[in-house]
Amino acid sequence: MADTETSSLALLQAERIRVEFDSLVAVRDASLSLHSGELLGLIGPNGAGKTTLLRALCGLQPMAAGRVRILDEQLTPSTTHLMQHIGFTPDTPPVYEGLTVRDYLRFIAKAYNLDASEVDERIDFWLEQVWLADKADQKIKALSRGMRQRIGLARTLLPNPTVILLDEPAAGLDPAGRVQFRQLLCNLRDQSKAIIVSSHILADMNEYCTHIAIMSRGSIVRQGTVAHVVASGDGTRCLYHLQLSRPTPQVAGLLEAIKGIDNLRTNRLHIEFEYSSDPEEAANLLAGLIRHEVPVSAFTPMHPNLERAYLQTGIEQVD
Amino acid sequence: MAYFSLTNNAIAWGQVRLRGGWRNVIITIGTCAVLVVGLILLCIRVQFAPFKDILYGWTMALLGVQIAWTMLAACGGIQSGIRRDVDAKIIESHRLMPISDMAAVLGYIVGSSSQAMVGAGLTLIIGMVTATAAGIGAINWLAANGILLVFAVVCSTAIAMLSFQSKGAFAAMIALLSLGVVSGGVVFAVLPGLTLLCAPAIGNNIFGIIERGIAWNWTYLLSFCMQFVFAGLFFLAAARKFRRDYVPAFGWALGIALLLAWVVLSVSGILAWPQISSRALRGVAVDARTQIIASTIGTMLLALVPISSAAWQENNSRRRRALRDPAWARQPASPEIITVLASLIVLLVPLSTVPRLRLPLDGTIACAVGLFAGMMCVRFLLGMLYLIRRPTLLIVGFWLVCAWAGPPVLDAIRYQFMWERGVNAPQVTALTGFGPVGLMMAVSGVGVPSPWMGAALQILTAAVMSWLYRLMCRPRPVVAKAPSIQL
């Protein structure tokens, strides 16, 4: 990422990627670079161009303009040797439904020319990692959507790629699966892979991503480390939580009248609002509330998080 | 060699596994073989005809079975294998694999047709036994099968190439072959190049070879060579399509190679017609001039392949340059040069087959100039259509009907109209020469008066099209759209 650029080699570099579908510009001049051990979360509304960008990065999507470099070598249709360093899992991974899980992964191992003596061992390892060890000999057509998504993950990870692109990988997973998946991602990140994950589950991304890129209408509108993106929402504003000791209906009217308070939400004893992040102004506000005999039992500034930073960008849903 | 690796070809392995693996293939085909052998033995036991006649009949029937295995089952299997992967988008997973395009296409061809090929192998063995026992001679049986197998290779590669872009590839191939049969062979007669490409139909055809033996001559050698050339071109085009489904199957270089191969095939076919004409066609009277005109028109249509590809590439490059694409590397081949080259290759058909030029030299030059200009019109039309992203095939088809076929057809209608009224009018007027097809007819010996008039009209049209194209290509100021959120 631009702000953490080191002298180390970027595993993935994208320069001014542009993808067009007739007159629609799906991705507009997107640039990013990813180093080893970096996990970039790609977020944005539906139709923002996240999937198209991921497809372009792995060479599946024809680009109107732009250049992708993997391990400092430009990705072109003729550089098939680079494909062994890239793994991509689409949101609904295509699989051979007529094969068993093991046979399908053997097919993948053959295509990646993996050492025949260790193929079964590797398949067992990755099936264990994606919690499908007991389904190895079942036909894929008999498995649920979530399980197919796990097969897609195993397919991507089996050849041990350096750059991993995952498009909404947790969408079909159950809650337990999501927890395990988070752990898997953290492990991969710690193995110095460069990973991009697109997802709508911002709370999860807050946990495992090192970097965030927010996309809107084909453009990357904000990118950087998680801390940088979260802080760059609006540094001058903060969300406060006010807890009352007893219901006080007139508090809402009182707060509304105070200049600088926005996005007021009340729920009996709990009130949330946005106000200046300056601690002195916050102290003055609290003193004023007490002066007006508001029964304050707690007054807490909420720490900024990714969800809030994303909402603060004001990105609208694309139809 | 890794490019063509068969022993370790993942796609072939996958296709075989999807068909139940070798065990399933051998059980299915083995059952079929046992049934056929059982039927043959039953026929011999019942003795409804002399022993040799029964086996002769069975040998012929087995050749029919071979056609079914190699043409229907193998080609059908290849299409279904490729289409299943394209439709289910699993081909995208394959594109992410570090395997070469050619190895992938080879895998599809070999893996998808594995069942049919095993069937054909067993039929070959059974047929050899019946042919020998019937006194036909194993050599005739092997020759017929060899010719069929080479043709099946051409069809397989063509089906593989077409299957990457259309669901109807197999149906189109069957329709084309059926058209040849339904038309009583007229399609093959007017396009001798096609006959030369369809080696099983040459001369006595493969059924006749079993009956009367094969008279090997140079036409078979030429046919085999050309079949391998075409199979190679289709294979390369399929490999292009496997990796990038958005590019034309034939780039300009492959397109020019295809055009050249077709010209060699057509010219050889016209010149060697007495040797290659099918026995079934010997009653069909087709004069050489008709063959030359039809082959030239076919070549003109085929010339649109490299021209279209060059126009597409130029448009693509122009867009990339306008967007200041960091990956834009070099200027593509000029479509104008490709058009001139393709036109020159088209001219080779009439110039090398007409016994002596029927036109004076200046008339021939006029026709050549008219052809260049007519081709240039299509080049600019394609350029404009790619620029505005409109349905290319439909509009170019309409243009060809109007500008190419229109003038000779109108002239024929005029003649028919006059003839019905008893007016003694010339059969061909200058109107025929107002299109490139008419001008090529003139070179082929049809007496088209004043070809310079037609050539001038083509030049004028090309100039207008060129002006329109340049007008559309004029660079417009690019206004960078601001991101929706200011940082």
pLDDT in tens, B328-352: 777 888 999 999 999 999 999 988 8
Domain limits of chain A?
Answer: 2-225, 237-303
Q: What is the pLDDT of residue B358?
A: 60
- Residue A95 and residue B246: Cβ atoms within 8 Å? no
B54 and B180 in a single domain? The answer is: yes
- Average per-residue pLDDT in chain B? 86
All residues of chain B having their beta carbon less than 8 Å from the beta carbon of residue A90 are 92
Crossing angle (nearest 10°) for helices A116-129 and A101-111 = 130
Question: Topology of A237-303 in CATH?
Answer: Alpha-Beta Plaits (3.30.70)
Give the pLDDT confidence of A125-152 residue by residue, as tens digits: 999 988 888 999 999 999 988 889 899 9
- φ, ψ of residue B32 to 5 degrees: the values are -60, -45
Tell me which chain A residue has its CA closest to the CA of residue B328.
A65
Assess whether B273 and B396 both reside in one domain: no
Contact A111 B88 (CB under 8 A): no
CB contact residues (below 8 A), chain B span 70-89, against chain A: 88-89
Whether residues A64 and B325 touch (CB distance < 8 A) is answered with: yes
Q: For residue B457, is pLDDT > 80?
A: yes
Contacts of A88 in chain B (CB under 8 A): 96
pLDDT of amino acid A260: 86
Contact B8 A113 (CB under 8 A): yes
Helix (H, G, I), strand (E, B) or coil at B49: coil
Q: Do A66 and B100 touch (CB under 8 A)?
A: no
- Could you tell me if B184 and B73 lie in one domain? yes
The answer on pLDDT for B314 being more than 70 is yes
Q: How far is Cα B216 from Cα B161, in angstroms, rounded to an integer?
A: 31
**pLDDT confidence bin for A243, thresholds 50/70/90:** very high
Last residue of a domain, one of B269, B286, B303: B286
Q: What is the pLDDT of residues B397-435, one digit of tens each?
A: 999 999 999 999 998 999 898 888 888 888 888 888 888
Strands (E), chain A: 10-21, 24-35, 39-43, 65-70, 73-74, 86-89, 163-167, 194-198, 211-216, 219-225, 237-244, 262-267, 270-276, 296-302
Which of A11, A18, A2 minimizes the C-alpha distance to A53? A18
Judge: A77–B96 Cβ closer than 8 Å, yes or no: no
In a domain, B98, yes or no: yes
B238-266: average pLDDT: 93
- Domain extent for B242: 2-286
- In the block, tokens 């080696």 appear at B199
CATH T-level fold of A2-225: Rossmann fold (3.40.50)
Among B338, B333, B200, B336, smallest CA distance to B258 is for: B338
**A16-25, B105-114, B443-452, B461-470: the lowest-pLDDT one:** B443-452
Query: With an 8 Å Cβ cutoff, are A62 and B246 in contact?
Result: yes
Residue A31, judged by CB atoms within 10 A of its CB (0-12, 13-18, 19+), counts as middle
Do B400 and B263 lie in one domain? The reply is no
Whether residues B277 and B366 share a domain: the answer is no
Q: Is residue B330 part of a domain?
A: no
Q: What is the dihedral of CA B309, B312, B317, B323, to 10 degrees?
A: -160
Give per-residue pLDDT as tens, B190-221: 888 988 888 887 777 788 888 777 777 788 88
* ipTM given for this complex: 0.82
Residue B98 to residue A84, Cβ atoms within 8 A: yes
Residue B296 domain-assigned (yes or no):
no
Q: How confident is the model at residue B6 (pLDDT cuts 50, 70, 90)?
A: low
pTM: 0.86
Does residue B297 register a pLDDT over 80?
Answer: yes
Q: Do the domain assignments include residue B182?
A: yes
Q: How far is CA A11 from CA A34, A71, A261, A296, in A?
A: 6, 5, 45, 53
Kindly state the average pLDDT of the residues B369-388: 92
Same domain as B218, residue B111: yes
Residue from A52, A108, A163, A167 whose CB has the most chain B CBs within 10 Å, to mutate? A108
B45 touches chain A (CB under 8 A): no
Q: A14 to chain B: nearest residue by CA?
A: B326
B390 belongs to a structural domain: yes
Higher pLDDT, A147 or A309: A147
What confidence tier does A176 reach under pLDDT thresholds 50, 70, 90? confident
pLDDT tens digit sequence for A213-232 = 999 889 998 888 888 887 76
- Point out the residue among A58, A67, A314 whose CB comes nearest to the CB of B326: A67
Mean of the per-residue pLDDT values of chain A:
87
- Interface check for B23 against chain A (CB to CB < 8 A): the answer is no
Report DSSP letters for B161-200, one per residue: HHHTT-TTHHHHHHHHHHHHHHTTTHHHHH-HHHHHH-GG
Q: Domain count for chain B, please give it.
A: 2
pLDDT of residue B439: 85
**DSSP label of B475:** P
Q: Give yes or no for B92 touching A (CB within 8 A).
A: yes
